[in-house]
Structure 1
Amino acid sequence: MTQKQSDGAGTSRPALSGPEGGALSHQRPRGPLWRTARPFRAVLVGSVGAGALAALVWTAATGFVEPYVALAFCLVIAVGELARITLPGSREVAPIASAGAISYAFLLTLGAGPLHHSAWQVVAVVALGVALGELPHVAVGRSPRVEDAVRRVLAATVLAVAFRPLAEQLGLVGPSVTATLLMAALVLLTWFADSLVAAVLRAERLRTRLMVAVRDELRAQFATGAAIGSSGVLIALACTVTGLAGLLVFTAPLLVSQAAFRRHAEVRRTYLETVRALSRVTEVGGYVENGHSRRVSQLSHGIACELGLAEAELLELEYAALMHDIGQLSLREPIAGGATVLASPREQRRIAELGSAIIRETGVLDNVAETVRRQCEPLAGDGDEGVPPLGSRIIKVANAFDDLVGENGDAERRAAVLERLRMDTDSEYDPRVVDALASVLARV
């Protein structure tokens, strides 16, 4: 079924025969691996964008109520949007902008004077502030995740539409227990709804299971949601006593929290970049093809999302997939084409164990090391340890596929390799993982 075929770089890989017996050629993929239709995102962005534009036009036509107050909050939201940060999981958040939007939606009085701006004006001010804050990012080529910016406008819209008419009906004109409890309840409900929206967007983007995405979003957004929501309520209550000074004074604690979130995100990002750099050592040394570790990581991520792995498991799998071949550095002579799938089971096991030992030296990646150690075991496991972890089984399939296909495999070659993997699902490869790989490839 296999014969050697040159890849044009001096190495060789198995050439799979197609239905008519000819060796399949290499071509570039038709498009990015993860380019998929996202109807929910399109509907969300379109509807919120249209609503924000309508609110802005209406408010401009009828005139802004207390324009200097609206300008102050608009500037705070713009500055907060300018200082947005990206948290683990590619989540863009703007704590200061979000807190400013919440406080403006809840603001009933400023100092001794009542405020009567409508929910339409809240939407207009928030949307304008978000747009102004994003302009410098766009100017330097750092375009935002549009759906994340839209979610911030949507959250302010929901709060304003729900709170301001209700406060007017209840006769709330200043700080009170009733007003505070109402604000807190609405913030909690809006946070939960926003997490659900984010989960649907995440499930649609990663093609993972919705309930898994919901759990991930609730867990990931709890800390930031609590800090932002409480700060927004606090600013709204403080401004009723101190005026606009409260907007600046009570934003300070949020600045500290944002600095802590940013530092945490930078540590995580640096850690991942270090792992990626380490995974490149085998490529620079000529042990594996250029881009092999990255492709295996991307395939593993897609398969894991298809199988419904949680976000924490996805991160560990990404580390393991990037470093799955690091044990090849111990070889005296590189394997032809770096394809470990062609090596003997004994050699595969030795490479995996040496790679695991290297990873364990970090002292913090024991789970990743275990995943790498057991990546070459058959489906039933090796010895008394039982079935290998799901991450190991995913990497085994993704690595075998990329070893046999490489970077430029065409559709026929991918289909032939996939069929070959299916033939070994009774002994070597997990059939669920192979089926998930087929679903990922079907979206190419």
Structure 2
Amino acid sequence: MFSKILIANRGEIAVRIIKTCKRLGISTAAVYSEADAQSLHVKLADEAYLVGGPRVHESYLNLEKIMEIAKETKADAIHPGYGLLSENPSFAKRCAEEGIVFIGPSADVISKMGSKIESRKTMIEAGVPVVPGISTSIPTVEEAKEIANTIGYPLMLKASAGGGGIGMQTIETEQTLVQAFESNQTRAKNFFGNGEMYMEKLITNAHHIEIQVLADSFGNTVYAWERECSIQRRNQKVIEEAPSPFLDEETRHAMGQVAVKAAKALGYENAGTIEFLVDENKNFYFLEMNTRLQVEHPVTEEITGLDLVEQQLRIAAGETLTFTQEEIARNGHAIEARIYAEDPKTFFPSPGKITELQLPSEVRIDHFLEAGVTITPFYDPMIAKVIAHGATREEAIGNLHAALGEMKVTGIKTNIPMLMQVLEDDTFKSGVYTTSFVSNQLVKK
């Protein structure tokens, strides 16, 4: 096992990683920007190093500076968390060149799965079902119009290098396509340095369901069940639960087996997630693969008893998985709510200073919050995750609702009222909600 790791991230995920490292007796080195000098992850780490200015390109995306700090601290490995450099193949490659273990898959796999076009091609070759569409880049709006007529409306216009809903738009008509194509192409180029666009058929009444996989370097690959991630705003998840209330056992196992097949076809190592769209008839289609730890990983931990960060560390250190597929538990139900510093009606960010903080006491909460901390406009507005477990789905929902009612964050706006509204909704309680729930049902109330 490693003696010291550097955490190339910030906020709640950095705190989360530090907690597992402390339990395993691993020393941690944190990096922080000027805006995060007083952040909780800086206080909890054994060592902490200023990496740059407040903006992400000055600090958490400064690959050269992070590598310099890693070598200075004599870190054995780097954990990238999620977001930022976690799916940057150049970062993984540089770690290998410097003799520092990257806690994640290889640079080649990250590169292949980082392009949604390439990942589609790879999954098709592996025999994994994909959403009907095109697996090549569309350079012009005129070509997009021709392809759209072949696929048929409605469809999804997507950025090949996209994430978090950026560069993605539902297209209902040719007029909408003409208006959306260049703006999404430009936005993708600005955010990801890659303006490649492609299109897929829109799966209506869809569920967004992902399968957690773990794979060691000895050829052992397992799936740790699924997560239902269909409560989304602006194509970003806000509530996730495990197991999915929509799946039956046959579909659940079939999706798990396909996810393992996909991971094996890639030669995948470490923790990863295969994301699927599932239609109303329970047909499922590959959407993308996230080659990192997911924000919503705690719900899997709650029902399986696994510490996924620990599994990441052990796999990266060259250890074998110590359990088989049949030994992975599925105990009760877990549900997670993401707390954002944002206006609950417009979903616009709401930075500011937290003047008062009261956290729920009976549930798990992953966070980096303290009274007096300023939530800056420089980073993603997610500030915490509240995770509740119960013997049944109904009990888990009740526990989460009680926890959110107990939580108090003043000085900034949060999406807690919106989350409470979801949990109180009869359609959500029934478990038959889809990805259109927030836009078609909640927002219209």
Instruction: Provide TM-score, normalisation by structure 2.
Output: 0.25
Higher relative contact order (CA 8 A, sep 6+): 1
Instruction: Mark the structure with the bigger radius of gyration.
Output: 1
Higher-strand-fraction structure: 2
Higher-helix-fraction structure: 1
